[in-house]
Every structure is written in C-alpha cells, then in structure tokens.
Structure 1
C-alpha cells in the first residue's frame, strides 16, 4: 500500500445503539478471520435471511477489530450490484493514495487494487467487508478479490448458503461459513424493551413482550422496529404491548413499506401463528 496510515472505511455510525452484542457470533468471526495463513487471506461468510442483523454484526466486528488494532485498514464494500462492487474495489486506490487511482482504464484500476492488497507488508493488516453479496456479483468478486497475502482478511455477508459457500471457495479450499440465526426469546424481549426505552422487570410485561417477539419471529430488525414504534407512541404497559399484536397496532403506521422478503416472511408467520400481520419499516441494513 502507498499509504500506511490506518483507516476504518466501514460506516460505523450505522451501528444501532440497541445492538445486542452477539458475543458468540463475534467470537466465531474473530476465530476465523484473524487466523493468519502465510500465503492466502482468510475468508469467512455470514449468511441468513434479511432482518437478522448481518450488516450490524459485520459493522460491530469492524469497529471492535479496528479499535483493538487487529486490523489496521478496514475497507467496506456494498456488494449487491456490479456497479457498487466496481466502485468499492477501486476505492481502495483512493483510500491508499495509490499512484494508479486516476487511471482511466477501469480494468487496470481493478488489477492495481488487487495487487495493492496482495503485495502489502506484514505491518498492514487489512480487512475487506463485502456486505450483502448476491448471485449477480459473485463471479466478479471471485475474479477480482485478492488471493495472496496471509495478513489480509475478507468478511462476507449474504442471504443464502449457496452464495456463502461459493464466495469462500478459493483455489480448491473451502473457507468457513456461519449461519446467523434469530435471537432467543429472552434476548428479543430485552431488545424490545431497550429499543422502546422501557425499564421494566414486571412478569406481566415480560410475558407480553415474549409473546410479541415470538409472533414476529424474533428477528432483530422487526423487534427493534416494534420497540421504536412503541417509543414514539408512548406505549409502556403490558396491556398496550398486547394491543400491538392483538389489534394490529403497527399496521396503520408502516403498512406496505418493507422488503418483499419480509412480506413473504410475515405471511408465513401469520399462517403458523394464526395472528394478524406485523409490518416492519423499511431499513437499508439487512
């Protein structure tokens, strides 16, 4: 790299103040990503359905790892489209003040970005985070990601196991993948209270909260949005919590503004639970 000054390019301001920590998942990432092979970068993919908090987990890891000095150069790349991946990879040249950053040849810049990371010294411990890799960007990434330098790491988030396995398969070696699962009922209830700003330990409130989070699948995004609505609406009691799911209290506020995947998920939950729908607000984090 031409500039050795440490930087964290990850948008850490997006980390939710209600993030639950995910200690076991964070430890799993650390164990895999920080393993140093003298020849090749480590790769690790986190996969799971939308709303589980994959991006939040990756952001939190990036923040913690950079602060601890485990990674000195953190590069965040949105990976849903070819355009975003192209921009993200050549951005490496700008971040490192590389001499080829103004080259008009896009192919040459992509090659320069890859070689920049592959040839960096051992004192530069870089981390690339590819957020939300899709089938549309998979092959491009396989062609242009760095394949040498054991002092680098690549962390990936994606929605499917197939993509996770494909993007972590390099030169005949299958790197590990990790399924991110929903929070437990207890964790989800804590998240609901935290995002709602409720300081309650009453058994009735806890029971109502657990009933609500079960109906929305214990998905962190859904739970946090329910809590956010409760905070805005001034709902604080157990009876008011029950209103949210017994009378569709969220629907009138945010109906129709969520991802298609959430619509399908909520539909399945309705069939399973025999309850009313629980809409979610649209968020950029998956």
Structure 2
C-alpha cells in the first residue's frame, strides 16, 4: 500500500532529481537512496515517485516495503514471492529468496519492469540476513537489472547504503516559499486564511520542517487558534511542551507526533560505537546554537567529562570512576548522531562543524528534568569556555562562540545566572571588543538585573557585573557616568568584601582610570599612587594587578604634566613586566605601548614612532591583525609617524586603518570616528591647508 498523498503536497526539487536519475528511456537506472532527518518528507517524495512511475505505464510490478526492521522486509518479499512466483507461504525466507531471484531477467523471457521501494530503512545491516549457518548468508538488496529500479528512504547516512551504483539524494527542509505555500494551501482548504507575514514567521519558528508544518496546520484547524496564538505557545518552551501542540488526529497517515519522531533515532545512535555517548552528546548540543557549533566545543575536556559522567553504558573502573572519554570518542559520538540524521556534522566547516534542527533541540530538552537541564546547561557553558582562546585572534570563531553563548543563555538562564557563569562575562566582553558596545552594555545590564534577582544586590557576582557594566558604559563615551558608577560600586564593595579584597582593589583601579578619563588626571594619578601602596602590601610587588597599577600611575602622571617622570616610571616598569609575565603577554605589550606614548609626549617623537613600529609586528603576532589593541597600536603609530614629519605616510596609514575599523568595528564606533577625524587632519596637512 503506497501512502496517500499528503494534503497540499509540495512539488520539490528533490522530486526532479529523483526522476532525472533515470536515463536513456528507462534502460539505465541507478538505485536511489533518499536520506535525511525524520520529518523532512522522504516517504511522501518516494510515494509521489512510485505513483508517477506506475501511472505512466512504465512498471509491471511495484512493491512498497515498510523496511523499519529486517523481518518486515523478509515478510514483504515473501508475500510478493507467494503472489508472483507461487512460493510456499509457510517458508518466508525461501519465498523471499525466490522473489529476489525472479527479479533477475531470464534469457528468452519478456523482461519484467519493476520498482521496489524500501521505506524507512532503520539499519543497513537489516538488508543482510545472517542465519545460524554462515554459509547461507544472503542479501535483501534487490538484484541489479536494466529493467528494475530501487528506491530507499532512510535517516541513516552509513557508507554501506551508498556505492555500487546507488545514488544518494539528500532531502532537506522546505524552502521559506514552500513552507508558506504549504501552510496557505492547507488552511485555505478548510476555509482559513492567515496573514502571510505570520505564516512566514511561523514557518521560521518551526525551522521549515515539513512534518512540523503539517502538524501545526492541523493543530490550527482543530483548535481554531490563529498563527499568532500558536507562535506564542511555541515560544513559551517552559510552559508548553511540544507534545501539547500536537493535533488530536495526525494528518496524512502520520504515525507519531512530532515530539516522538526522533526518539527511536536517538536510541539507535546511542547503540553505535562509541556506545552510549550519542544521547549525552545530543544533550549538550541541544543547548547551543542550531546554526553552528564548533567541534572543539563538543570535544573539549569539559564536554568529555560530561559524556563520561552520563554515558548510558559506563564501564566502571576499579576506582568506581566513569571510564574516560577521548577526543576520538567524542568525535565518534558526533558521527553516530550524523549517521542517524539527528545532526549535520561537517568537519570541513571549521567553526560551524555541527548543526542541529531547532525542534530536535527542543524535543531533547523536553526530556530533561529541571535539575538535569540546569546541570547540562552548565556543562555546555564549561565546554564553550574550554574552547574559547585566551586571545581572540580569530574573529569568526569569536562570533560563533558568542552566538552559542546567546543560545545557551536563552535555554539555560536559571542555571547560568544563578552563578553568573563566566561564559556570560566572556561573551559580553568579546562583543564589546569587536565594536558591539551597545550589545556589551545590554548584556551586562541584563546580567546585573539577573544576579540581583537570583543572588541579591550584595552578592560578589552582582558587584562584579556592575563593575563590567560601568566599564563598557565608559568605553562607549560616558566617562563621567562610569566614574560615578564606580564611586557607588566602591562603597558597596568595601562594605561587602572589605578594603583589602582583590575585587575592592580592582574597583579602586577602575575608578581611578575613569576619574582620569573624565578629566581629572591629577586626581587619577593620586588615586593610583595610594592604590599602589595598598596592592604592594596586600598582593606583593610582582602581582599582575600591582604591575597594572604602576602602569596606570605612570600614565596619569604623564597626563597630569610630569612627562619625564612618567617616562622614567615606564622604563622601570617594562623589565619587571617582562620578567613576571613574559615578553609576549598582552600586559607587556600594553606597557611597551604606554612607554612609547610617554616617550613621544616627552618630546622624542621620532623615538616614539620607531618604538611603535617595533611594537606593531609583535602585537599582530600575539593578538592577531584584527584585535582592538592591534588597531590601537596602528592608530598611535600613524599619529607619531605624522608628528615625526611624515604627514603623507600618516594619512596613508590612517586611511588603511579606517577601512579595517569600519569592517571590524562599524562606522559609528568611537575609535572609527577618532580615526576618521585624524585622517582628515593629516590629509589637510599634506595639502598644506591650515
């Protein structure tokens, strides 16, 4: 029995690809394998192809087999053997073999034109029969014949399904246009209309998955709700389970609701080697960005710790600890999920190696208790942090990591904000450093609100969030506002943590910085001098924070008018910074930067230009060409290049820098605007305009 055609069946490009495989008037035929995730419409495409082939008179025999188990394939073949070959109905295996032999063309006999559809092959090994006697092993693959066609639908992507003249056709999601056309047609058939923009939005919410669209349309018809109401229910993941949005009667002979479509696939993937890891791997991926997850996140040490702890079949060592999971095991778990079409795993896409449909993610999260969801969300956060490089040389990778953090925050907010997980702080800082100042401010503002709600206004994590929020508000141009915020924060930090706590000392450092940025250079220098005495006493002279304060003191000492004293302080600081942190540490590079700046402000403009020229290649090597500190070094180098008499060179350098800043930071970033102004100044200098 061929499945009935779905309501408002959509003709798709895959159908044309199916028919295009038959060449030469049907005399040269490839076996075809339709593969894709559950719910994309493989069976409907196969049924459409089978009906068309039968109706155009090109077939003598059509056999449709529901091939979800080996016994079902044998039974269907046996039935065909009984009906076509007069096989013994009491010996199914013999009857199945007779049918397969009958398909082979015989000399002197009129050839039989046939099509066999094996729908929903669950396991490639089901097509090989292994009786007790090894000598009687046989294949259930139909024989090669110039007059026969084979069409298989499956969620599997195993290599065993392909090759030997079998053509693979990947069945994907509806296009946005197909999704809207489908929803409109189904609703119109029941006298319903919906605004196109709402249907477009609904299709996007459902990820253009045909099965999801079919069940959503049926739900709208049965319930009488409109698309706006349905989208609201769909968005409220905590209150509305996907199963609650399933219609009472499934459309188009569908056997299972959307929420259950992938459960069998997950179970099967979990049996593949390395056994027991596919399900916990999917638990991690379910909290991350469906559009792309770096493999390094899912194979990190944090991810492997999660996999080991939640392996379904754990080999327990004598210590009672779970067996460790290697990077190869974690990658194998990804391949197992890929083989069952639960994820797309493409190692050729370095930063977005893994993609997961959003409804598979939601269904996976729905199987978890609140406690499990929180635990797995934190594990995913640890995994992102483990893959986040200390220095963001690769801006594309940083963007993907931020996107994954954003997705994680949406689905695991309770677990992350309850402890102000550092991945939230890292992502917000990353956004700010790449020019997204408003994003950084919004995220830290939300973090302040959330930590106050979850932890209280006096919790150290709340104070830390306020610290970062003030920093980025200052970075966006509100230096006076940042200074006021730090004054308020310092009072609370001293009261909660005490005057000698490192966070209190850091707050004093930030306050001094923004006091200077707001115009009080002398006050900033005094504040850094006082702070330095306390940090030497509490942290020691070689602590990185102490070195940072020495740099701050020297900088504002110079800004307050003592350029020579600042130059001496920087000269004394540099060897200590190199000794403690190493020559390539960002703080060492920053110290070299400020030393060169002081050198220039003290009157040695040629020496400053040369120092920045020496610094730039080291900064590019350590931090990368797109890092904000690299851009800042280029800006300052161009400035002193011009001050040293090379106005034309300065103008060229600023022009090149402006292009990169517009690309990386955007046209309205404060640094971009500063560079634009400097470019105009030096261009006037080149033209001799006063």
TM-score, normalising length from structure 1? 0.75
Q: 1:160 is matched with which residue: 156, 162, 182?
A: 156
Partner of 1:209 in structure 2?
199
Distance of 2:60 and 2:408 partners within structure 1: 47
Q: Higher Cα Rg: structure 1 or 2?
A: 2
Distance of 1:143 and 1:79 partners within structure 2: 14
Q: How is 1:1-286 mapped onto 2 (pairs within 5 angstroms)?
A: 10-12=1-3, 14-22=4-12, 24-33=13-22, 36=26, 42-96=30-84, 98-102=85-89, 104-119=90-105, 121=109, 123-135=111-123, 136-140=125-129, 143-162=139-158, 165-169=159-163, 173-197=164-188, 200=193, 205-236=195-226, 239-240=228-229, 242-247=231-236, 248=240, 252-254=244-246, 257=257, 258-259=259-260, 261=262, 266=359, 268=361, 271=407, 274=410
User: Cα RMSD over matched residues?
Assistant: 3.2
- More moved, 121-130 vs 225-234: 121-130
Distance of 1:99 and 1:129 partners within structure 2: 22
Contact 1:46 1:178 in 2 (8 A): yes
Name the structure where strand makes up a greater proportion of residues: 1
Give the 3 Å change call, closer, same or farther, for CA 168–90 of structure 1 in structure 2: farther
How far did residue 80 of structure 1 move? 1.0
Distance of 2:410 and 2:8 partners within structure 1: 29
Distance of 2:187 and 2:206 partners within structure 1: 16
3-state DSSP of counterpart to 2:115: strand
How far did residue 118 of structure 1 move? 0.9
Distance of 2:80 and 2:409 partners within structure 1: 48
Distance of 1:76 and 1:122 partners within structure 2: 23
Q: Which structure would you say has the larger RCO, counting Cα contacts within 8 Å and 6 or more residues apart?
A: 1
Give the 3 Å change call, closer, same or farther, for CA 245–83 of structure 1 in structure 2: same
3-state DSSP of counterpart to 1:150: coil
- More moved, 211-220 vs 49-58: 211-220
How far did residue 31 of structure 1 move? 2.0
How far did residue 216 of structure 1 move? 1.4
Contact 2:105 2:112 in 1 (8 A): no
List alignment gaps of at least 5 residues for structure 2: 131-137, 248-255, 267-285, 287-356, 366-406, 412-690
Give the 3 Å change call, closer, same or farther, for CA 166–54 of structure 1 in structure 2: same
How far did residue 112 of structure 1 move? 0.7
3-state DSSP of counterpart to 1:160: coil
TM-score, normalising length from structure 2? 0.33
List alignment gaps of at least 5 residues for structure 1: 1-9, 276-286
Give the 3 Å change call, closer, same or farther, for CA 167–101 of structure 1 in structure 2: farther
> Over residues 158-178 of structure 1, what are the superposed CA-to-partner deviations in whole Å (9 max), with x where a residue is unaligned?
00221xx42343xxx342101
> Over residues 94-148 of structure 1, what are the superposed CA-to-partner deviations in whole Å (9 max), with x where a residue is unaligned?
332x22243x434422221111111365552100000011225133497133324
Q: Report how many aligned residue pairs link the two structures.
A: 251
Partner of 2:554 in structure 1?
none
Distance of 1:19 and 1:89 partners within structure 2: 29
> Over residues 167-192 of structure 1, what are the superposed CA-to-partner deviations in whole Å (9 max), with x where a residue is unaligned?
343xxx34210100000112112212
3-state DSSP of counterpart to 1:118: coil
Name the structure where helix makes up a greater proportion of residues: 2
Contact 2:262 2:360 in 1 (8 A): no
Give the 3 Å change call, closer, same or farther, for CA 152–272 of structure 1 in structure 2: farther
Distance of 1:133 and 1:231 partners within structure 2: 32
How far did residue 45 of structure 1 move? 0.2
